[in-house]
Structure 1
Amino acid sequence: MTDPAGNQAPSASAAPTNNLPPANNTGPVVEIDETVVDRNDGNDSTYGDELSTYTASITSSVLAHEYKHGRRYHSYHAGNYQFPNDEPEQDRLDMCHHVYYRSLGDRLFLAPINLDGKRVLDIGTGTGIWAMQLGELYPKAELIVGNDLSPIQPHWVPPNVKFLIDDVEQEWLEPKSYDFIHSRYMVGSIRDWPKLIRQCYQHLKPGGWVEFQDTTNRLYSEDGTLDPENNVLKLMNNLIEACGRIGIPGDFAPRIKGELEKAGFVNVQEKIFKVPVGAWPKDKRLKEIGAFTALQFIEGVEGLTAATFSEILGWSKEEITVFNAKVIADCKRRDVHCMHEIRVIFGQRPE
């Protein structure tokens, strides 16, 4: 049996069926012990009824696309979002979904809430895979709304799922309308994080929960194997620099917890998961996570650099092509034990 991403679904014994942690659960925090590294250090390349679910709440320009750098981009507010929305990028986003899902211990969220009869908003839903899996897991949830700028989500979805095509950084309608708001992998896409967090507070029902899942975007190693000249490290640093030049924080995840508390959320918790880049760990699950993480860089580096490096950093096409090849080569190295972090921060609006 496979999940919507085409990945082998975990067995019933491998993961809880209700996705709910015990009230005092601290979450499956991943610690990577450098003594359990797979020491096969040879560099290799083994990475190897229909619903009309769309609601457009802004002008028809939301449906427009722009073609440049050999890729398809969303043209609405193109200055805010610098990455493609075509099929190769959608495949990369689904790989990222798998990395998050496996890193969180085969869970879609960690907030202690039962979603039966509840209304859910998924900010920046992308391909819609998180919302669709949630709809399958919680058929008794009243409504799951996936919000995104690009209409790239499928039309065949669980009956309690719909997609809203809108800009989450504009004003929202219907205050106090959701029981749970989820946001994932949005660092590098949002200009005003404090405003977004305040909007989440305003649109949660009293007692409702918000959860942000995002990466720190800062690579490191614990054994000194990550050289400052490593090109995957340079990739992430340059992406943070490019986003910063256009006013978008490229590494906001470490600040989200403080902003939730500042906005008035209570019961705020943060869980940190170490994510390897590459198939170097011995542990089978971490090896899988690392392989998918490296693969999304290998197959996605062109989309990550095409607009950001040329239009913002001023690189030539030739410079970008050479650099991308170096990134791919460094992603395949098993003698470099680099990693980054996924941070999951959730909090509750007071009753």
Structure 2
Amino acid sequence: MEQQPEKQHDDGPVSSSAADPNDKIPSGEAETLAQPAPAKQQPSKPLALNNPIPSGIPTGSSSSPADGRPSFSTDGKGSALSSYVDISESRNVTPLTSAPSLGENSRNNGSSSARNAANDEQEEDHGSPDVSEAEAEEIALEHREAATQAEEGSILIDSDDLATDDGYGSDTATNASTSLADSVRDYVYENGRRYHKFREGHYNFPNDDVEQQREDMKHSMVKMLCGGQLYFAPIGNRPQHILDIGTGTGIWAIEMGDLFESANILGIDLSPIQPDWVPPNVRFMVDDAESPWLHPRNHFDYVHARHTVMGIKNWSTLMRRALEHIRPGGWFEMQEVLHYPISSNNSMAPDHPVAQYWGLIRDGLDNLGVNFHAVANGKLSTMMRECGFVNVTERVLQIPIGTWPKNKVLKTVGLYWRTVLTDGIQAIALGPLTRGCGWSPSEVEMFLVEVRKAYKDNSSLMYMPLHIIYGQKPLNY
């Protein structure tokens, strides 16, 4: 019987579906996007740090086993600590992940072979880390404190870093080729940006090289915030079939393919922008998750969706299709950001340029039929239960915007997230404001001048909530 959830936080693309491409795309156009790479060289085994989740934030009901102890790199340079650190026994906490232990040969929950990871956390550990005991303990403490502060909403402030901060990087481009027929690889160019052609207009954000770099940095930021974890649902040690909805550049699917060699990983997206060289158990497909799914029922062990809130129009339909195609006992997980700035010290006025910006994005997407704030107020977890999922769990982590946190891990996360938002400020705004609100491109550019400046203000202590929601298909379904 499903437990009743605790009260959820009042906080608040891309889509794709598992389908036979020949049933979805005209003949000659549907091809697998990526071919298997040669057998990958196994990296040396990193040592591990367990990162438990603290109490203090309502998380909903959970029947997750407490045996999950994934490992991850902790020094930001590919090295790792020499022992597990576990504070769950001394505090009334739930482990940050319900993912199962990977045993003595534990590897990072997220491999280093992913393409163009935007930070050093993706590097392989090719040798023994040169970390003293004191340094290791300091790193471990930073990560434990980061987990506690992000989950409890108690991020400590660095009073020396509250002024305007210009310290973020410049745009760089990446390239990802595909093997699709030209008609599927066609793109639409609008206001100087490139958009997907398949199901044109369904997703209102670009897919060009600059945007791909930004998406990979977003992946690295979330991974760092989550202690290196790629998933939270207790999917077991040997899942066989995994679907990644809105796979984007494919970085999450590639890392999962490295992590679970037993599994066939399918990543689907409206844009054919994934790389050619991937693990042999990973493939990509152009497809729309909001169209009928053509894979067998009761097929997937795990369905994953992240950063899809900007593109999904009918969440209930998506969840029902996931429930139908997940095997009994399998899991559906969503990781979605509520894209609206919240001030940790309640100092941000409603007319703050960043608040105005995201309010207009919401209005534009609403006009285009996208429920941009579906993640707010526990809506997605409620819909998941109503669709028939059980053991539904929701966790909320705060993503700082800027370098105002005192904790080094959260300071880096905040720098990454602000860079993601400022580098994408035009990409995010053009579609919703020109298509949804009727603005001209020049009006958008004039408006963005003040928004760019406002993002550099650390004194507002801005953050956005990351909602992690997962539920299980009943065994008797």
SS in 1 for 2:321: helix
SS in 2 for 1:213: strand
- Does structure 1 retain, via aligned residues, the 8 Å contact 2:221–2:413? yes
Quote the residue 1:339 is aligned against: 463
Quote the residue 2:309 is aligned against: 187
- CA offsets 1:323-347 (integer angstroms, 9 cap, x no match): 2222211111121211110000011
- CA offsets 1:6-59 (integer angstroms, 9 cap, x no match): x9565333998xxxxxx95255562343543343222121113xxxx9797xx9
Partner Cα distance (1:313, 1:200) in 2: 32
Match for residue 88 of structure 1 among 186, 202, 210? 210
Identity score, percent: 33
Which stretch of structure 1 is more off in the superposition, 31-40 or 99-108?
Answer: 31-40
Pairing of 1:80-229 with structure 2 (within 5 A): 80-139=202-261, 141-173=262-294, 174-229=296-351
- CA offsets 1:283-303 (integer angstroms, 9 cap, x no match): 111111111111011111111
Pairing of 1:60-99 with structure 2 (within 5 A): 61-99=183-221
- CA offsets 1:307-336 (integer angstroms, 9 cap, x no match): 221222122222211222222111111212
C-alpha change, 1:24 and 1:298, in structure 2 (3 Å) is: closer
Any gaps of 5 or more consecutive residues in structure 1?
2-6, 17-22
Q: Structure 2-normalised TM-score?
A: 0.66
C-alpha change, 1:343 and 1:154, in structure 2 (3 Å) is: same
Quote the residue 1:25 is aligned against: 95
- Does structure 1 retain, via aligned residues, the 8 Å contact 2:393–2:470? yes
**Backbone CA RMSD of aligned residues:** 2.4
Which stretch of structure 1 is more off in the superposition, 332-341 or 147-156?
Answer: 332-341
Q: Which one has the largest radius of gyration?
A: 2
Quote the residue 1:325 is aligned against: 449
C-alpha change, 1:113 and 1:38, in structure 2 (3 Å) is: farther
Q: Per-residue deviation at 1:280?
A: 0.9
- Determine if the alignment matches structure 1 residue 36 to structure 2 residue 157: yes
Q: Per-residue deviation at 1:227?
A: 2.3
Q: Structure 1 or 2: larger strand share? A: 1
- Does structure 1 retain, via aligned residues, the 8 Å contact 2:164–2:458? yes
Quote the residue 1:19 is aligned against: none
Quote the residue 1:20 is aligned against: none
Quote the residue 1:4 is aligned against: none
- Does structure 2 retain, via aligned residues, the 8 Å contact 1:80–1:191? no
Pairing of 1:216-255 with structure 2 (within 5 A): 216-254=338-376, 255=379
Partner Cα distance (2:363, 2:293) in 1: 30
C-alpha change, 1:12 and 1:113, in structure 2 (3 Å) is: farther
C-alpha change, 1:208 and 1:8, in structure 2 (3 Å) is: same
Quote the residue 2:144 is aligned against: none
Amino acid across the alignment from 1:336: S
